[in-house]
Structure 1
Amino acid sequence: MGFDVTRFEGEVDEELVCPICSAVLEDPRLAPECEHAFCKGCIVEWIGHQPTCPVDRRTISALELKPVPRILKNLLYRLEIRCDNDQYGCTAVVKLDVLPIHLKECEHNPKKPVACVQGCGQTVPKDEMKEHNCVRELRLQVREQNDRIQKFTQEMSDMRYALTEQKREIHLLKEIVKAMRSSNPNARALTDQMEDDDVVRWAHTLPRARVTRWGGMISTPDAVLQAMIKRSLKESGCPSHIVSELMENAHERRWPAGLQTLETRQMNRYYFLT
């Protein structure tokens, strides 16, 4: 799995050759005790069949393998190697450490991505350009896009159905609770008392506030402000039934007659404050 020795300029030291594949080391690893070096791919595959060093048969595992010393890396990086694309006409000879960079930029690389010259805007491997069909590829893109849209639409439909079912169950539960409270006055009184206790406990946790602008404090918020207020109430520990009632009566059309206009609120502010 290493680099073919014949691709290198000059002689290659045998210490830089993998004992398993007899090629120049690629991504080398050392055995833990004997420190024999192997290509990572070679030694991992070897250990998968036989957990011993191929040279001296000492027992090793893949977890015990370690990187080679810097000096060995430097010796490998100084080697000069011919480009992988020499069979396609590339005559470049580069240092081993810059080979990956060269391959990405090599004009002779058959897999180098190039833009379609026919105008479809796609990028395809160079060796596939002759077989490239703009209409076919665009149709494939449209089909894939439609599949994604259909999948998303189905997910949204499933989500809406789930929400509808949840709302139906909640409504049914409310009706059951209402019926139980109507049929059993004691249970209704107990529920009311528990809700009142929840409100008192919540109120005692809140800091006192000074009302300086009565009309502004209770003026109708828009949808964004209502959402912010609802979130703040929940974060403060407000009982859920109080949050629901406050949000249901947030708009002034649900307020008592004496509060429906700013003028009446200002005229009666002392009455309401007391």
Structure 2
Amino acid sequence: MGYDLNRFQGEVDEELTCPICSGVLEEPLQAALCEHAFCRACITEWLSRQPTCPVDRNALTTANLRAVPRILRNLLSRLSITCDNAMYGCTLVLKLDALAGHLEECEHNPKRPLPCEKGCGFVIPKDEFKDHNCVRELRSLIHTQQQKLGELKTEISDQNLTINELKRELQLFKDFMRAMRVSNPAMRAIADQMERDEVVRWSSTLARARVTRWGGMISTPDDALQMMIKRALSESGCPPHILDDLMENCHERRWPRGLSSLETRQNNRRIYDNYICRRIPGKQAVLVLSCDNSHMAEDVMVDPGLVMIFAHEAAGKSPICVYLNK
């Protein structure tokens, strides 16, 4: 709907009014062929009932509407209009193109959002302050949030059921693949490749890490430390078929020749900087997977990879592990 003519100072040219509502054009659009101009809302509603121009009755659809010429927009913008909130006390008269910006800040706007200063901090329309009750509003908010929380819990429960079902089906498929692997060489090759691909995908989800002090490596971690690292690996999505092997390989008894003794580790320390290491989330440890380190010699690499655990750094020293981007 257009602007009420009574709100404007001086006469308004008839070319600036809408033939449908007889008000001054608001968000005007023009018919492409006949060039008649209308308010956007007026012509949209009109065309929803009949696809013709309201003036000359020629065929017209929304696809045939376009923006009015700039000269018409300029003429409209120069008109002087009273504020929408004149009935609430605003006496300002301003150019039409400045009206929208003024309405957002007009202190007489009854719907102007203001923060409640009584304690709840809600932002509410100005004309609702007289009926506003902080306790009631807070109770309503808590009730709404509790409903949403209940819905989320139900959704999470449903998702967990779906996940568990998918895990069960995946485990059945893996069991089937293992059974087929025993009896069929072709299936054995396919299953092996699938497991290798699974390791590569998991590796790509872990952040890269660079070890700055290899001397802090623990060669014989105790059972409690190994269990903590194993739990972190499992939570990060480590494929189950390599988890136990990785944990066995965190102890020097399973390390390759280049790591098997303190002397060889000291001699090979510069070589270790060539390792591609992955972060074990939240732990002072890194993962060195064989799929990432095919460039390393056999005497410093083992399949499926190594878990290297470090002692916590002393205060004032540089970090043992620096975590990089993926």
Tell me which interval the TM-score lies in, with the shorter structure as reference length: 0.7 to 0.9
Specify the alignment match of 2:152 in structure 1: 152
Structure 1 position 2, deviation (Å) = 0.2
**Is the contact between residue 258 and residue 265 of structure 1 (CA under 8 Å) also seen in structure 2?**
no
Q: Distance in 2 between matches of 1:97 and 1:76?
A: 8
Specify the alignment match of 1:53 in structure 2: 53
Q: Distance in 2 between matches of 1:178 and 1:199?
A: 11
**Is the contact between residue 252 and residue 260 of structure 2 (CA under 8 Å) also seen in structure 1?**
no
SS at match of 2:42: helix
Q: Distance in 2 between matches of 1:51 and 1:258?
A: 82
Gaps of 5+ in 2: 197-214, 268-297, 301-326
The 5 Å alignment of 1:75-224 reads 75-178=75-178, 187-192=183-188
**Is the contact between residue 85 and residue 109 of structure 2 (CA under 8 Å) also seen in structure 1?**
yes
Specify the alignment match of 1:30 in structure 2: 30
Q: Distance in 1 between matches of 2:19 and 2:194?
A: 77
- Relative to structure 2, which stretch is displaced further, 101-110 or 247-256? 247-256
Q: Distance in 1 between matches of 2:195 and 2:160?
A: 33
SS at match of 1:159: helix
**Is the contact between residue 29 and residue 65 of structure 1 (CA under 8 Å) also seen in structure 2?**
yes
TM-score (norm 1): 0.73
1:16 maps to 2:13: no
| CA separation of 1:230 and 1:266: change in aligned 2, threshold 3 A | farther
Match of 2:246 among 250, 253, 266: 250
Q: Which amino acid aligns with 1:119?
A: G
Instruction: Work out the percentage of aligned pairs sharing the same amino acid.
Output: 46
Please identify which structure carries the higher helix content: 1
Q: Which amino acid aligns with 1:112?
A: R
RMSD: 3.9
Structure 1 position 197, deviation (Å) = 8.4
Q: Which amino acid aligns with 1:115?
A: P
Structure 1 position 258, deviation (Å) = 5.2
Q: Which amino acid aligns with 1:85?
A: N
| CA separation of 1:32 and 1:267: change in aligned 2, threshold 3 A | closer
SS at match of 2:107: coil
- Relative to structure 2, which stretch is displaced further, 166-175 or 141-150? 166-175
Match of 2:255 among 259, 263, 267: 259
Which digits, 9 at most, give the CA deviation of each residue in 1:47-73, with x for residues without a partner? 222222222222111111111111111
Higher relative contact order (CA 8 A, sep 6+): 2
Q: Which amino acid aligns with 1:87?
A: M
| CA separation of 1:114 and 1:195: change in aligned 2, threshold 3 A | closer
Structure 1 position 171, deviation (Å) = 3.0
TM-score (norm 2): 0.62
Which digits, 9 at most, give the CA deviation of each residue in 1:15-46, with x for residues without a partner? 11111111111111111112111111111212
| CA separation of 1:15 and 1:176: change in aligned 2, threshold 3 A | closer
Q: Which amino acid aligns with 1:73?
A: R
Q: Which amino acid aligns with 1:146?
A: Q
Gaps of 5+ in 1: 201-214, 232-242
Q: Distance in 2 between matches of 1:258 and 1:84?
A: 81
Which digits, 9 at most, give the CA deviation of each residue in 1:103-152, with x for residues without a partner? 11111111111122322111111111111111111011111222222222
| CA separation of 1:250 and 1:91: change in aligned 2, threshold 3 A | same
Greater Rg by CA: 1
Q: Distance in 2 between matches of 1:151 and 1:230?
A: 28
Structure 1 position 190, deviation (Å) = 4.8
Structure 1 position 176, deviation (Å) = 4.4
Which digits, 9 at most, give the CA deviation of each residue in 1:202-221, with x for residues without a partner? xxxxxxxxxxxxx99xx899
Q: Distance in 1 between matches of 2:82 and 2:9?
A: 8
1:69 maps to 2:69: yes
Q: Which amino acid aligns with 2:244?
A: E
| CA separation of 1:117 and 1:170: change in aligned 2, threshold 3 A | closer
| CA separation of 1:225 and 1:21: change in aligned 2, threshold 3 A | same
Q: Which amino acid aligns with 2:171?
A: H
